[in-house]
Amino acid sequence: MIDLYTAATPNGHKVSIALEELAMPYNMHVIELSKNVQKEDWFLAICPNGRIPAIVDRDAGDFAVFESGAILIYLAEKTGRLMPSDAKGRSLVIQWLMFQMGGIGPMMGQANVFFRYFPEKIQPAIDRYQGECRRLFRVLDTRLKDHEFLAGDYSIADIANWAWVRTHRWSGVEIDDLPHLLRWRDQLRDRPAVLKGIEMPPSSMNVRVDDAEKAKQFAEQARKMLETGQSRTGGV
C-alpha cells in the first residue's frame, strides 16, 4: 500500500495520475498548504524539503520518497510499467521527465508567481517567464509532430509534462497555435486514469481561470504562501 501526501497542484497530480494508471492501491492524505502542515516535523521526516508530493511505501519497510520526478521513477520501476527497462528507452523517458522537472515546471511556476500572485505587476519578469514557457511548449510541439507520445510509448514523461501543460492558461500562456501539443493534451485528457488522477484531490484550476473573482481569491491565498525572503530566518 502506498500512502500519498499531496495537494491539488500539478506536481501532486503527476503522482496521483501515475498511481491511477498503474492501478496501485493507495491512501491519499491531503496536506493543507495554507496551514503549513508541510512544515510540521512529522512531514519533514518524510520529505526534508517540506514540499508535496511525497509517498511512503508501506510494503517496502515504510520507504519514503519525495520529489515528484523521483516518485514517478520509483513507481515505474517498482511495477515495471510506464518506463522501458532497456537503457536507451529508460534514458529517453528520463530525458523528457527532466525536461519537465528542470524546465516546464520551474518556468510555469515563476510565470504563475509574476502573472498571478505578486501584488505588483513586474512586466519584464512576466514577459521573461511567459516567453520561456512558450519556447518550451514549442519544443514539446515539435517533438509531438512526429511522435504520438514524448518518449516512445505512453510513459511517466507524458504524465509529468501533461500535469503542468494542462494549466497553461493559469500561467497566462496560450497554445492554440501549437496543433501537436493540443492533440497530445486532449488525447491524454481522455484517459480514464488521467481524469481520475486530477480529481485526487480535486482541482478547480479551470474554474479559477474562467471566474475572475475566484481567480482573484485564489491568487490572494497563494500569495500568502510565497517565498519572498522570510525563510532567511531559518526553517524550510
39-83 pLDDT per residue, tens = 999 999 999 999 999 999 999 999 999 999 999 999 999 999 999
Place 203 in a pLDDT band, splitting at 50, 70 and 90: confident
Does a structural domain hold residue 221?
Answer: no
Of 33, 54, 79, the last residue of a domain is 79
Q: Report pLDDT for 205.
A: 56
Counted domains in the chain:
2
DSSP per-residue string spanning 5-59: EE-SSHHHHHHHHHHHHHT--EEEEE--GGGTGGGSHHHHTT-TT--S-EEEEGG
The whole-angstrom separation of Cα 166 and Cα 160 is 11
Does a structural domain hold residue 26?
Answer: yes
pTM given for the model:
0.93
The whole-angstrom separation of Cα 212 and Cα 12 is 24
Residues 171, 106 within the same domain:
yes
Answer with the residue of higher pLDDT: 74 or 236. 74
In 3D space, the residue among 28, 11, 118, 146 whose CA is nearest the CA of residue 71 turns out to be 11
CA 124 to chain CA mean position, Å: 25
Residue-wise pLDDT for 86-133, tens only, equals 999 999 999 999 999 999 999 999 999 999 999 999 999 999 999 999
Residues 176, 100 within the same domain:
yes
Residues 187, 93 within the same domain:
yes
Contact yes or no for 67/35 (Cβ under 8 A): no
Show the cell assigned to 214: 475566484
Residues 118, 189 within the same domain:
yes
The whole-angstrom separation of Cα 113 and Cα 224 is 11
Residue 121: partners with Cβ closer than 8 Å, 6 or more residues away: 114
Q: Report pLDDT for 14.
A: 98
Does a structural domain hold residue 108?
Answer: yes
Strand partners, 5: 29, 54
The whole-angstrom separation of Cα 46 and Cα 199 is 24
Show the cell assigned to 37: 502542515
The whole-angstrom separation of Cα 219 and Cα 170 is 10
Place 207 in a pLDDT band, splitting at 50, 70 and 90: very low
Least trusted range by pLDDT, from 30-39, 105-114, 128-137, 207-216: 207-216
Mean pLDDT over 190-212 rounds to 81
**What is the dihedral angle through the alpha carbons of 140, 141, 142, 145, rounded to the nearest 10 degrees?**
120
Does a structural domain hold residue 210?
Answer: no
Does a structural domain hold residue 109?
Answer: yes
Residues 96, 140 within the same domain:
yes
Does a structural domain hold residue 227?
Answer: no
**What is the dihedral angle through the alpha carbons of 215, 221, 224, 227, rounded to the nearest 10 degrees?**
-60
Residue-wise pLDDT for 3-29, tens only, equals 999 999 999 999 999 999 999 999 999
Does a structural domain hold residue 135?
Answer: yes
CATH number of the domain to which 61 belongs? 3.40.30.10
Structural domain boundaries, residue 27: 2-79
Answer with the residue of higher pLDDT: 10 or 205. 10
